[in-house]
């Protein structure tokens, strides 16, 4: 791998890891849509970067699909386990 590909891969992996924290967020439909959009955009952009495609196009497509998937899920579809904190 040359330096440019390694940098692109590193940025994609870092973005993916940072957005993994968003996957546990979301008790309302809007929150799940937002976290799904963030995760989808990171995955879409990273996948496009690794395959040589348009990163912005991949991020937009991934974000749209992630938001749709997040909005389509119900609170009962996701088992986040017992809460360990209180508001």
Question: CB under 8 Å to 61, separation ≥6 — which residues?
Answer: 44
pLDDT in tens, the chain (87 residues): 566 667 777 776 766 666 555 555 677 888 888 888 888 888 888 888 878 888 889 899 989 988 888 888 877 766 656 666 665
Q: Tell me, what's the pLDDT at 69?
A: 86
Give the per-residue pLDDT at 46. 83
Structure tokens, 20? 């993994």
Contact 10, 31 (CB under 8 A): no
Cβ(55)–Cβ(48) under 8 Å?
yes
With 0.75 as the threshold, say if the pTM is over it. Answer: no
């Amino acid at each position: 791998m040359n330096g440019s590909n390694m940098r692109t891969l590193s940025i994609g992996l870092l973005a993916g890891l940072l957005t993994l924290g968003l996957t546990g967020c979301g008790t309302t439909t809007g929150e799940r849509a937002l976290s799904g959009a963030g995760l989808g955009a990171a995955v879409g952009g990273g996948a496009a970067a690794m395959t040589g495609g348009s990163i912005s196009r991949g991020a937009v497509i991934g974000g749209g699909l992630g938001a749709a998937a997040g909005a389509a899920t119900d609170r009962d579809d996701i088992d986040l386990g017992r809460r360990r904190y209180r508001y």
